[in-house]
């Protein structure tokens, strides 16, 4: 289990597996309150760096995540370019990455 994240091991595996179904080369970056071990609760914040993005894929990922881990607030950011803006760049450099 990644000790830097407040997710159950099976939740983390499910999230990564679902995203990798759509792009096996995707970089998955967790950010937000669940990356702070001193906090409790919080929504699920995930940025995904993909090579080909479309809104249909984003909706499919969100639906599958809800089915797998329950109906929780999920903030899902998809990007092809981490230098797109300062917010995306900050998440990429400060978040916890899985690839």
How many helical (H) and strand (E) elements, i.e. helices and strands, does the chain have? 3, 4
The residue with greater pLDDT, 88 or 33, is 88
Q: What is the pTM of this model?
A: 0.83
The region of weakest confidence among 3-7, 44-48, 88-92 is 3-7
| Residue spans of alpha helices (H) in 1-99 | 9-22, 55-69, 86-94
**pLDDT for the residue numbered 38:** 66
pLDDT in tens, 13-69: 899 999 999 889 999 999 987 776 667 767 888 999 988 778 898 899 999 999 998
Pairing state between β 44-49 and 74-79 = parallel
pLDDT of residue 37: 64
C-alpha atoms less than 13 angstroms from C-alpha of 95 in its C-beta half-sphere:
24
The answer to whether 59 and 71 are in contact (CB under 8 A) is no
d(CA 87, CA 94) in angstroms, rounded, equals 11
Amino acid 68: pLDDT: 92
| Mean pLDDT, rounded, for 70-80 | 88
């Amino acid at each position: 289990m990644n000790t830097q994240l407040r997710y159950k091991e099976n939740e983390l595996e499910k999230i990564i597996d679902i995203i990798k179904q759509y792009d096996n080369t995707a970089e998955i970056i967790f950010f937000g309150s669940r990356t702070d071990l001193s906090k409790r609760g919080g929504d699920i914040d995930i940025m995904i760096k993909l090579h080909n993005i479309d809104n249909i894929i984003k909706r499919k990922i969100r639906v599958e995540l809800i089915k797998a881990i329950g109906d929780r607030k999920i903030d899902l950011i998809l990007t092809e370019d981490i230098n797109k803006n300062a917010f995306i760049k900050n998440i990429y450099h400060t978040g916890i990455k899985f690839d």
